[in-house]
Amino acid sequence: MSFPRVTGPQAVLPPAGLPGLDPALSRLVSVDGVLADAGATRRWHVLDTGDALAERGFEPIGTIVAVHGNPTWSYLWRALVNASLARAEGGAAVWRVVAVDQLEMGFSERSSLRRTLAQRIADLDALVEQLGIRGPVVTIGHDWGGPVSLGWAVEHRDRLAAVVALNTAVHHPDGAALPFALRVATARGMLAAGTTGTTAFLDTTLALAELDPGVKAAFRAPYATVARRRGIGGFVADIPATPDHESTPALHRMSSGLRELTVPALLLRGPKDPVFGEDHLDDLTDRLPHADVHRFEGAGHLIAEERPYADVVLDWLDEKVVDAVTPATRSRRSAAARRAAAAPAPETPPAPGDASGHLWDALDARRDDDDTAVIDMTTDDDGNPLRVSWRQLSARVDELAAGLDAFGVRAGDRVSLLVQPGPTLTAALYACLRIGAVVVVADRGLGIGGLSRAVRGAVPDVVIGEVAGLAAARALGWQGRRISSAALPAVTSRALGVEASLSDLARAGRGRAVPAPPAPEAEAAVLFTSGSTGPAKGVVYTHAQLTALRDTLAAHFDVIAETGLVTGFAPFALLGPALGTRSATPDMDVSAPRTLTAVAVAAAVRASDARIVFLSPAAVSNVVATASALTADDRVALEGVETFLSTGAPVSVDLLRRAQALMPNATAHTPYGMTECLLVADVTLPEIEQAQGDRGVCVGRPLGSGQVRISAIDADGRASGEPSTAPRVTGEVVVSAPHLKRGYFRLYLTDREAQRGLPDRWHRTGDVGHLDAEGRLWIEGRLPHVITTAEGPVTPVGIEQDVETVPAVERAAAVGVGPRGRQVVVAVVEAGVRRPGLASPDLTDQVRAATAQRLAAVLVVPTLPTDIRHNSKIDRSRLSAWAGRVLAGEKPTAP
Backbone dihedral region of 233: left (phi > 0), alpha (psi from -120 to 50 degrees) or beta? Answer: alpha
Q: What is the pLDDT of residue 208?
A: 94
Query: Does the CA dihedral 80-85-90-95 come out positive or negative?
Result: positive
Quick check: 436 and 515 in contact, CB under 8 A? yes
d(CA 312, CA 317) in angstroms, rounded, equals 9
| Residue (of 163, 218, 162, 223) closest to 196 by Cα position | 223
Cis ω before 14 (30° cut-off from 0): no
C-beta neighbour count of 894 within 10 angstroms: 10
| Residue (of 158, 157, 140, 41) closest to 100 by Cα position | 140
Higher pLDDT, 448 or 850: 850
Question: Is the pLDDT score of 572 beyond 80?
Answer: no
Residue 30 vs residues 53, 106, 126, 470, 887: alpha-carbon distances, Å: 22, 15, 10, 57, 62
Question: Is the pLDDT score of 333 beyond 60?
Answer: no
Q: What is the pLDDT of residue 341?
A: 44
Please give the sequence-ordered ranges of beta strands (E in DSSP) within 511-605, or none if there are none.
523-528, 538-542, 565-567, 583-585
Question: Is the pLDDT score of 352 beyond 70?
Answer: no
CATH class of 361-544: alpha beta
Q: What is the pLDDT of residue 618?
A: 82
Q: 824-843: per-residue pLDDT in tens?
A: 999 999 998 999 999 999 99
Question: Is the pLDDT score of 337 beyond 50?
Answer: no
Of 23-27, 292-296, 456-460, 871-875, the one with minimum mean pLDDT is 871-875
Quick check: 583 and 566 in contact, CB under 8 A? yes
CA angle 544, 545, 551 (to 5 degrees): 90
C-beta neighbour count of 200 within 10 angstroms: 15
Mean pLDDT computed over 586-613: 90
Q: 672-725: per-residue pLDDT in tens?
A: 999 999 999 999 999 999 987 789 999 999 999 999 999 999 999 999 999 999
C-beta neighbour count of 637 within 10 angstroms: 22
Question: Is the pLDDT score of 13 beyond 80?
Answer: yes
Question: Is the pLDDT score of 179 beyond 70?
Answer: no
CATH class of 786-887: alpha beta
Q: Which of 238-242, 441-445, 728-732 has the largest mean confidence? A: 728-732
Q: What is the pLDDT of residue 349?
A: 57
Q: Give Cβ neighbours of residue 672 (< 8 Å, ≥ 6 apart).
A: 647, 680, 681, 682, 683, 699, 700, 777, 779
| Residue (of 227, 237, 145, 231) closest to 182 by Cα position | 237
Mean pLDDT computed over 780-795: 95
Please give the mean pLDDT across all residues of the chain.
91
Query: DSSP assignment, residue 331?
Result: S
Side by side, which strands form the sheet with 763-771? 672-674, 677-682, 697-702, 777-782, 763-771, 731-736, 707-712
Mean pLDDT computed over 423-428: 94
Q: 312-330: per-residue pLDDT in tens?
A: 999 999 999 998 887 643 4
642-676 in b/e form (b: 16+ CB < 10 A) is bbbbbbbbbbbeebbebbbebbeebbbbbbbbbbb
Percent of all residues in the chain with a pLDDT value above 70, rounded to a whole number: 92
Q: How far is CA 298 from the centre of its chain?
A: 12
Question: Is the pLDDT score of 799 beyond 90?
Answer: yes
679-694 in b/e form (b: 16+ CB < 10 A) is bbbbbbbebbeeeeeb
Q: Please, what is the angle between helix 502-509 and helix 423-434, to 10°? A: 50
Quick check: 568 and 619 in contact, CB under 8 A? yes
Question: Is the pLDDT score of 193 beyond 80?
Answer: no
Of 126-130, 204-208, 428-432, 444-448, the one with minimum mean pLDDT is 444-448
Q: 111-158: per-residue pLDDT in tens?
A: 999 999 999 999 999 999 999 999 899 999 999 999 999 999 999 999
Side by side, which strands form the sheet with 292-295? 26-32, 41-48, 95-100, 62-67, 137-142, 160-166, 265-269, 292-295
CA angle 472, 475, 480 (to 5 degrees): 75
Question: Is the pLDDT score of 879 beyond 60?
Answer: yes
Cis ω before 71 (30° cut-off from 0): yes
Question: Is the pLDDT score of 251 beyond 80?
Answer: yes
Q: Establish whether domains 361-544 and 786-887 are of one fold.
A: no
Q: How confident is the model at residue 534 (pLDDT cuts 50, 70, 90)?
A: low
Mean pLDDT computed over 631-651: 91
Q: What is the pLDDT of residue 195?
A: 84
Query: For the chain, what are the domain ranges?
Result: 23-175+246-323, 361-544, 673-783, 786-887
C-beta neighbour count of 232 within 10 angstroms: 23
C-beta neighbour count of 294 within 10 angstroms: 21
Q: Which of 448-452, 712-716, 874-878 has the largest mean confidence? A: 712-716
Quick check: 290 and 260 in contact, CB under 8 A? no
Of 211-220, 408-417, 609-618, the one with minimum mean pLDDT is 609-618
Mean pLDDT computed over 789-796: 96
Q: 480-497: per-residue pLDDT in tens?
A: 999 999 999 999 999 999
Query: DSSP assignment, residue 350?
Result: P
Question: Is the pLDDT score of 343 beyond 60?
Answer: no
Quick one: CA torsion of 838, 841, 847, 849, rounded to 10 degrees?
A: 150
Q: What is the pLDDT of residue 871?
A: 45
DSSP SS3 for 416? strand
Q: How confident is the model at residue 367 (pLDDT cuts 50, 70, 90)?
A: very high
CA angle 768, 770, 773 (to 5 degrees): 170
Q: How confident is the model at residue 356 (pLDDT cuts 50, 70, 90)?
A: low
Question: Is the pLDDT score of 347 beyond 60?
Answer: no
846-871 in b/e form (b: 16+ CB < 10 A) is bbbebbebebebbbbbeebbbbbbbb
Question: Is the pLDDT score of 508 beyond 70?
Answer: yes
Q: Amino acid letter at 318?
A: D
| Residue (of 582, 181, 584, 159) closest to 384 by Cα position | 584
Question: Is the pLDDT score of 460 beyond 80?
Answer: yes
d(CA 42, CA 77) in angstroms, rounded, equals 22
DSSP element (H, E) containing 130: helix 117-130
Burial status of residue 243 (CB atoms within 10 A of its CB: 0-12, 13-18, 19 or more): exposed
Percent of all residues in the chain with a pLDDT value above 90, rounded to a whole number: 77
CA angle 839, 844, 850 (to 5 degrees): 135
Largest CA distance in the chain: 96
763 DSSP β-pair partners: 735
d(CA 799, CA 780) in angstroms, rounded, equals 9
3-state helix, strand, coil split of the chain in percent (to 5) is 35, 20, 40
d(CA 408, CA 403) in angstroms, rounded, equals 9
d(CA 206, CA 415) in angstroms, rounded, equals 36
Mean pLDDT computed over 34-60: 97
Burial status of residue 323 (CB atoms within 10 A of its CB: 0-12, 13-18, 19 or more): middle
Burial status of residue 695 (CB atoms within 10 A of its CB: 0-12, 13-18, 19 or more): middle
Q: What is the pLDDT of residue 891?
A: 87
Q: Which CATH superfamily is domain 23-175+246-323 in?
A: Alpha/Beta hydrolase fold, catalytic domain (3.40.50.1820)
707 DSSP β-pair partners: 736
Query: DSSP assignment, residue 193?
Result: I
Higher pLDDT, 345 or 177: 177
Query: DSSP assignment, residue 108?
Result: S
DSSP SS3 for 100? strand
Q: Please spell the DSSP secondary structure of 629-693, one letter per residue.
A: G--HHHHHHHHT--EEEE-SS---HHHHHHHHHHSTTSEEE--EEETTEEEEEE-BHHHHHH--S
Indicate the CATH number for domain 673-783.
2.30.38.10
Name the pairing type of β-strands 565-567 and 612-615: parallel
Q: 648-662: per-residue pLDDT in tens?
A: 777 778 889 999 999
Q: What is the pLDDT of residue 486?
A: 95
Q: What is the pLDDT of residue 342?
A: 44
